[in-house]
A and B are shown apart, each in its own frame.
Chain A
Amino acid sequence: MITERKPKNIFTQGPIAASFIADSIQKHNTKTNIGGHSIFLGQVRADVIEGNTVKAITYTAYEEMALEKMHLIREEIFAKYPLVCMHVHHSLGTIAAGEICLFVFTSSAHRKAAIDACNEVVERLKAELPIWGKEIFEDESYQWKENK
């Protein structure tokens, strides 16, 4: 099925609330052609670097470019996997350690497509979207996050 999909805004100011994620799951109960969901949640980790603990990450993005790129990734993922739907949310602004900064949610009739698509979206958005993270330490110093 070919459907026209408009670029969606993936960015949320601040952390992604657990209640938002729960509501998002709940909303799928009318889509009864779905048999499997896959969800990835990224959480800000309190890394300790030379005795200094990360207390938060401040995310910024080249938003227009990121949304255009995410739209292309979305089109390619839908062309590759038989998904029913896919939702991506990424935080901007300052997210404290322990809070959720990334929510990727894929759904399909059978589990494999949802799981594989979810993994691929997470890998691609980390590699291809112009997003940056400033790791803020407890003493207010900072370093720029590097993806591994």
Chain B
Amino acid sequence: MPVQVIVFGQLTDVMGNNPVMIENAADTSELIDQLNQRYPALVNKPYIIAVDKQIVTGHTALSGNNTVALLPPFAGG
């Protein structure tokens, strides 16, 4: 079940502006492991994770068809 990953802010310098599809990630930890292998520059970047626009922590299960967003520190205003 593919999961769509989108990134914003400084993370677009690492992963670009287009969504990335990741196959076979059962939870957010597996997803991040796969992304870290594919984008080594991601490893030390600060960000929080949102699954379908809800901020999550820890190992959050992914059911497929989720959109996972990696959100670096906010800088509005």
Contact = CB atoms under 8 A, between A and B. Distances in A.
Interface residues of B, number: 14
B8 A125 contact: no
A106 B21 CA distance: 42
Interface string B60-77: 000000000101111111
Contact of B76 (A64, A68, A129): A129
Contacts of B9: 60, 132, 134, 144
A59 interface: yes
Query: What band does the interface of chain A fall in when counting residues whose beta carbon is under 8 Å from B?
Result: 20 to 34
B77 A147 contact: yes
A132 B75 CA distance: 5
A147 B8 CA distance: 16
A146 B75 contact: yes
11 contacts: A62-B8, A90-B76, A90-B77, A126-B76, A126-B77, A131-B76, A132-B74, A132-B75, A133-B76, A144-B9, A147-B77
Task: Return the 9 tightest CB-CB contacts between A and B, nearest first.
Answer: A131-B76, A132-B9, A145-B75, A65-B53, A144-B10, A126-B77, A133-B75, A129-B76, A102-B77
Interface of B: 6, 8-10, 50, 53, 69, 71-77
